[in-house]
Amino acid sequence: MIEGRCPLCRASRERMHNHGFAGLSPALVVGLLLVLLLLSLVAEHLVGA
> Structure pTM?
0.51
pLDDT at 1: 45
**Burial class for 20, CB neighbours closer than 10 Å (0-12, 13-18, 19+):** middle
Cα dihedral 16, 20, 24, 29 in deg (nearest 10): 170
Would you say 21 and 29 are in contact if contact means Cβ atoms under 8 Å apart?
yes
Spatial separation of the C-alpha atoms in residues 27 and 21, rounded to whole Å: 10
Domain boundaries, the chain: 23-49
pLDDT at 25: 76
pLDDT at 31: 93
Spatial separation of the C-alpha atoms in residues 49 and 36, rounded to whole Å: 20
